[in-house]
């Protein structure tokens, strides 16, 4: 059993600084999740292709995140332990965000492999690098909370992270409609991304690097001895064990049961949100604007409205995050949150008024709030300080794998539901209900991983 050092609790400001860079990272992630399907539809992809554009990014995440976790576990330098990876990820993300929305303006019009034109191939590889770099920048924030926050304060620390995450989402989602409102064009020639989206990515990149630099300068990670004392790690024993340091596969085999049970819940939840990100634009355009033509003004207006809906989801998530700590049981709060989110998803199928959809996505925010905070609280409470980064990196596979599976079968499921993109959101609601059932398998008690 872990014996935790009686270190002075962190202040609210310290926990805020620890996660502030997450605000900027989440702006980038929100821009990606709300606009990628819109971008690829504009570049010429049909609805059955859309889900395939989401396969490679999480696949890269499954490869990169465990490695980042393992490497950062062994990184002790003047800049810190997790912070070097945080900075590199942010810098790459900024560069890619400057190029991705210009994919349609680079004269890649000819058809290449698999029926995709050059612009779509450029956009696809840009998306791979963007998603990978965002994850490289995002994951250290979760690891630093696991490293530096006591078990008693973790729920609060992850709640602060959730608040900043949703605030960043709110900004990122509203950027396109804001730029349209101030007079920047929301339409463009066929195959070209509208300037409102391009400028959204430019501003998101600027905010991202500023926020990450703030956390980088404000946070000082623990040196090895202090870290060992805080987590009750025997340094001599650790040095001896380094000669036979377990690989990622061995760590996975010895992962606590919580890793697997929470991972099952994650599978259903992230598959659901993959369908939300992929099909909401088409669902809203079809149900509320009566069009499926990406070149039409209605489709691009629906794209802006999706940003508003996702922003409302973020508001709902922020408010629900304040309610979650009121529950006496983490599992109960998990179940209630997912049921509310499922109701929001399923209701989209029956709504044809853009303003009524605000209520649906407000409800979806409850599930998102739970997904951001509760899995990491449950998992890190079941881990000792050793291999924290490796396990969190491996745990990221429970986010990436369901997205890959959902994307791979998305076109097939779309045909099963009669080509209705709105029905795909109802499928997402059913997946969240499956996640509710899986919560019953999760154990909240503390365990010692070997």
Whether the pLDDT of residue 157 is over 70: the answer is: yes
Alpha helices by DSSP H, 329-356: 330-348
Q: For residue range 288-303, what is the model confidence (pLDDT) as tens digits?
A: 999 988 878 899 899 9
Token pair of 175, please? 């950027």
Cα–Cα distances (Å) from 360 to 34, 162, 190, 284, in that order, read: 16, 20, 32, 12
Average pLDDT, the chain: 84
Q: What percent of the chain has pLDDT over 90?
A: 38
pLDDT at res. 241: 55
The verdict on residue 3 lying in a domain is no
Q: For residue range 235-286, what is the model confidence (pLDDT) as tens digits?
A: 666 565 555 565 666 666 667 778 888 889 999 999 999 999 999 999 999 9
The CATH number of whichever domain residue 144 belongs to comes to 1.20.1250.20
For the ranges 24-33, 87-96, 394-403, which has the lowest average pLDDT? 394-403
pLDDT at res. 4: 46
Q: For residue range 6-63, what is the model confidence (pLDDT) as tens digits?
A: 567 888 898 999 889 999 999 998 898 888 888 888 887 777 677 777 777 777 777 7
Cα–Cα distances (Å) from 92 to 71, 134, 148, 171, in that order, read: 18, 8, 26, 21
The model carries a pTM of 0.76
Query: Is there a contact between 56 and 102 (Cβ–Cβ < 8 Å)?
Result: no
Q: For residue range 315-327, what is the model confidence (pLDDT) as tens digits?
A: 998 899 889 888 8
pLDDT at res. 332: 92
Phi, psi of 117 (to 5 degrees): -80, 170
The verdict on residue 445 lying in a domain is no
The verdict on residue 387 lying in a domain is yes
Whether the pLDDT of residue 447 is over 50: the answer is: no
Residues contacting 104, CB < 8 A, separation 6+: 42, 43, 119, 188, 191, 192, 193
Q: For residue range 158-217, what is the model confidence (pLDDT) as tens digits?
A: 778 878 888 898 899 999 999 999 999 998 888 888 999 999 999 999 999 999 999 999
Token pair of 349, please? 């199928």
- Residue 262: alpha-carbon gap to chain centroid: 16
Q: 431, 406, 415, 127: which is closest to 278 by C-alpha?
A: 406
Cα–Cα distances (Å) from 269 to 263, 273, 313, 369, in that order, read: 10, 6, 15, 12
Q: Which residues pair with 101 in a beta bridge?
A: none
The verdict on residue 4 lying in a domain is no
State in Å, rounded, how far the first CA of the chain is from the last one. 10
Count of domains in the chain?
Answer: 1
Q: Three-state DSSP class for 254?
A: coil
pLDDT at res. 248: 61
Q: 422, 375, 142, 391: which is closest to 278 by C-alpha?
A: 422
The verdict on residue 295 lying in a domain is yes
Range of the domain at 109: 12-439
More confident residue, 334 or 47: 334
The verdict on residue 218 lying in a domain is yes
Q: In whole angstroms, what is the distance from residue 86 CA to residue 124 CA?
A: 23
pLDDT at res. 116: 63
pLDDT category of residue 356 using cuts at 50, 70 and 90: very high
The verdict on residue 143 lying in a domain is yes
One-character DSSP codes across 264-285: HHHHHHHHHHHHHHHHHHHHHH
The verdict on residue 185 lying in a domain is yes
């Amino acid at each position: 059993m872990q014996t935790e050092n009686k270190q002075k609790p962190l202040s609210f400001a310290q926990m805020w600084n620890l996660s502030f860079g997450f605000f900027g990272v989440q702006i980038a992630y929100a821009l990606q999740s709300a606009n990628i399907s819109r971008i690829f539809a504009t570049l010429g992809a049909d609805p059955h292709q859309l889900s395939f554009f989401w396969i490679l990014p999480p696949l890269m995440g499954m490869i990169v995140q465990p490695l980042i976790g393992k490497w950062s576990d062994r990184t002790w330098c003047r800049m810190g332990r997790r912070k070097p990876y945080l900075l590199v990820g942010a810098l790459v993300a900024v560069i890619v965000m400057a190029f991705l929305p210009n994919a349609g303006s680079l004269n890649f019009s000819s058809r290449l492999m698999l029926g995709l034109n050059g612009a779509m191939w450029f956009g696809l590889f840009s998306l791979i690098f963007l998603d990978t770099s965002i994850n490289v920048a995002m994951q250290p924030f979760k690891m630093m909370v696991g490293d530096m926050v006591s078990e008693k304060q973790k729920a609060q620390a992850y709640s602060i992270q959730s608040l900043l995450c949703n605030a960043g989402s709110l900004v990122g989602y509203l950027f396109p409609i804001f730029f349209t409102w101030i007079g920047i064009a929301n339409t463009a020639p066929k195959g070209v991304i509208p300037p409102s989206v391009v400028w959204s990515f430019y501003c998101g990149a600027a905010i991202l690097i500023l926020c990450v630099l703030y956390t980088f300068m404000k946070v000082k990670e623990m040196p090895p001895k202090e870290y060992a004392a805080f987590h009750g790690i025997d340094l001599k024993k650790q040095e001896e064990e380094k000669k036979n340091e377990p690989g990622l596969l061995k760590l996975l085999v010895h992962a606590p049961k919580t890793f697997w049970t929470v991972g099952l819940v994650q599978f259903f939840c992230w598959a659901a949100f993959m369908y939300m990100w992929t099909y909401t634009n088409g669902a809203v355009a079809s149900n509320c604007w009566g069009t499926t033509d990406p070149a039409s003004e209605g489709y691009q207006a629906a794209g802006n409205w999706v940003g508003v809906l996702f922003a409302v989801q973020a508001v709902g998530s922020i408010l629900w995050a304040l309610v979650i700590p009121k529950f006496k049981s983490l599992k109960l709060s998990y179940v209630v949150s997912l049921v509310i989110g499922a109701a929001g998803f399923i209701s989209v199928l029956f709504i044809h008024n853009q303003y009524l959809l605000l209520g649906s996505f407000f409800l979806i925010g409850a599930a998102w709030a739970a997904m951001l905070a509760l899995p990491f609280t449950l998992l890190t409470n079941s881990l000792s300080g050793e291999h924290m980064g490796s396990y969190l990196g491996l745990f990221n596979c429970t986010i990436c794998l369901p997205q890959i599976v959902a994307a791979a079968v998305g076109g097939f499921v779309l045909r099963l539901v009669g080509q209705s993109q709105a029905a795909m959101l109802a499928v997402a609601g059913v997946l969240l209900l499956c996640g509710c059932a899986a919560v019953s398998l999760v154990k909240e008690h503390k365990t010692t991983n070997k």
